[in-house]
Structure 1
């Protein structure tokens, strides 16, 4: 067994008054790399379950002991908030019964319902293959090989499906074409009338065209994902993918504009030239430090909203996760000490957004490749590194010096967007943090420290950038809803306060479903996240006097939700009718 599997073993608690069955089940599971704890009565189990903290419970439903298996299920599944078993309420339960009991109690019908709230059942004698399969499924067991295979599969599929579709985007009309006579309306001669109307009233462009829902995804390809400077052509598949997320999650018609221009002033001018067509600009994968200059200049000089997802998007989603993590560990933003590992565009923006949201700058320490930022780092007092220098003079009140290890000592929070790991951050450094530490390690594809190692070192909550671990900090939770709300009220810009409003609504979406150490931020497949986020952003724009359209909260929600639902329905319809062809392998799933 490799080190990953040993550290990541799942714990299964077997509860049965049949000693032979317990021992045989234990042997089977341990042979499949599970760790097992056993109890021969319900009372023994209840006395120990909190200490064991199992990942799965296998329970004889009809044990002939002083407490029955049914009573155990009820205690675990329906606890009061002050019950000693409250923390155990979400542990998966598999029940074991004889065929006779299954029939008498109608278990096959009621398992998984309110009458018997369990996750499945086995009939005695237990099938070896079924036992292992269910145990792996319910504990979400994964080996290092499984993870590596999962990590490489999207790339393998992409090399098949990108040429299969010859790209990911096309242009489809949104107006009716009843017959060929309609072309006289949509094009010449009829189109001259709206042209004249716009010429006389430039704002009418938002009525007569799709400008109000058009966003340009502008990139020079100098910092694409983890690939670096690969150029605009090689960056185009990423921008097409971004456009799909914009459409499906936010109902936004986004279009990739990959440009062969790399000077800040040229990119700025290019964005200005695009203004007549697009209602917003999304800057993407542009290297630092020029990304700061480009965003700041365009936000100041443009009449349409400009957004840099690597900065503002990452900041909004990270703040959302941090808001909820602090609630779980019962700490406040005013008092926590934060170590930020990495001083790139993302962490610079996160620090700015956090400070605007009320986190004291003096409680933040940022580390770049040469160590902690502090007032004596005079080499950073240059136009090219002015963002870092600002952190030097506003953060790190105690003037601490050193590297990552020194920054993490006594910190409550670690936010790392640094070199892909593992071992960028060491276990002993996490162990030096304060009790109930919060650790965000967001490098992709490999986090700076594996989540289980951070947990072993004392971290209470761990978030990563990966979808196969809990608490994924995913920009896709941010930009679709934020742009939806911005466009729906025709806001002239996207302020930091609008990003913060989005972050708090994201956090509230997760809180409404029930926070836990492994659920501090919503998942991308939760529909309500995006219209709710749009409402928060739009209402903040109205409050700040930046909106051209004033809507009530309900009007804004209904508008946003309808647009998003329509976008998804259109894609589903094209697939269902065969106009978007499904790959052959889809039929085999």
Structure 2
């Protein structure tokens, strides 16, 4: 697609979203019901019973999609204004694919405490908070704090969304190469928000031979350059993955998961991996290795974050149906068990995995409903376990 075409599409209508009324206002009677004096009746009712707010106003179905543009996969820190098209696009997908109303919001790059205060102070207007493209380690504290402060679901797409879709794809990739998920040696390159969340979920799903590599090399419990969240994950995994750079630890690995930057993996390195290596090069818009280079080097399964290649591992498979299910079921938290449930449901949509088909396509029928149904099943299971 030409860049001029992209610009023209977004300039034509000043973005890709608009507000639409749920009722017509065409006469004095309509006005009295929709606005004055009718709203006074609603205001008094909500004053008496604040829980009515979610039933009688947009706040009961509206998601805030919030960014400060500090960590966009493949683009880096582009700032809040430049991050706005991304959250606007996600709001469009929420509505188009799942019927969920979402409002894109750009917040200045302020302190962690001020960011948390800002979202808390506007939270009464929303039924959920979707965090997007916020740098680590601040994003971890922001999400954790908001989960504790708010009585609505808080979801960081770069964490939970990424982890869910990576696990779904890896379940089927392992089947293609005839290896058990628990036996895989996996290197995650890029230990930011997505890398840490993916490491946590893969570990919870039974992957134990995990090597975490960031810009300064392997993340170990004693790594002086790493943040506390990276250290905590390395300690939890407890796997002696050696030390050094990606080049020094790539030998013998079954899986490369790239959540980092363009062109950091070479064909020579792929050749040093285990037999039938699995390559997930997920940086956008340019992957860690071009699929053609990985294929020539012997990769058995290749996935990217782009729709231009087979096996698009993209958060769009998760977030529309996820929030639809959260709102429908009144669920307030996204935990590791729920993430596994959704990932396995997505994986099971592909009945006969093949090298170029390990995950559903973005527009495959039933993706949103599969995710939503997985959440329903999770809630039923949780409720039955508490009886």
TM-score normalised according to structure 2 size? 0.93
Partner of 2:96: 248
Say yes or no: does 1:502 pair with 2:353: no
List per-residue Cα deviations over 1:386-405 (Å, max 9, x = no partner).
11112332336234122212
Partner of 1:394: 236
Contact 2:221 2:232 in 1 (8 A): no
Structure with the bigger RCO (C-alpha within 8 Å, sep 6+) is 2
Say yes or no: does 1:536 pair with 2:366: no
Residue 398 to residue 235, structure 1, CA distance change in 2 (3 Å) = closer
Say yes or no: does 1:185 pair with 2:185: no
Contact 2:25 2:34 in 1 (8 A): no
- SS of aligned partner of 1:446: coil
Partner of 2:112: 264
2:318 to 454, 460, 478: 478
CA–CA distance in structure 2, aligned partners of residues 406 and 496 of structure 1: 31
Q: Select the structure of larger CA radius of gyration.
A: 1
Alignment of 1:344-383 (within 5 A): 344-360=192-208, 363-380=209-226
1:211 is displaced (CA, Å) by 2.1
Say yes or no: does 1:447 pair with 2:293: no
Partner of 1:37: none
CA–CA distance in structure 1, aligned partners of residues 71 and 224 of structure 2: 27
List per-residue Cα deviations over 1:41-61 (Å, max 9, x = no partner).
xxxxxxxxxxxxxxxxxxxxx
Partner of 2:58: 210
Partner of 2:14: 166
Which stretch of structure 1 is more off in the superposition, 400-409 or 309-318? 400-409
CA–CA distance in structure 1, aligned partners of residues 117 and 380 of structure 2: 29
1:497 is displaced (CA, Å) by 2.0
- SS of aligned partner of 1:300: helix
CA–CA distance in structure 2, aligned partners of residues 434 and 234 of structure 1: 40
Residue 480 to residue 263, structure 1, CA distance change in 2 (3 Å) = same
Alignment of 1:274-289 (within 5 A): 274-289=122-137
5+ unaligned residues in a row in structure 1: which ranges? Answer: 1-149, 547-589
Alignment of 1:399-438 (within 5 A): 399-421=241-263, 424-438=264-278
TM-score normalised according to structure 1 size? 0.62
CA–CA distance in structure 2, aligned partners of residues 323 and 417 of structure 1: 18
Total equivalences in the alignment: 384
1:189 is displaced (CA, Å) by 1.7
List per-residue Cα deviations over 1:351-389 (Å, max 9, x = no partner).
0111122222xx100111121122442443xxxx11111
CA–CA distance in structure 2, aligned partners of residues 235 and 369 of structure 1: 23
1:192 is displaced (CA, Å) by 2.5
1:306 is displaced (CA, Å) by 0.5
2:140 to 289, 292, 302: 292
- SS of aligned partner of 2:183: coil
CA–CA distance in structure 1, aligned partners of residues 197 and 176 of structure 2: 24
Contact 2:321 2:369 in 1 (8 A): yes
CA–CA distance in structure 2, aligned partners of residues 456 and 228 of structure 1: 29
Contact 2:200 2:233 in 1 (8 A): no
1:270 is displaced (CA, Å) by 1.2
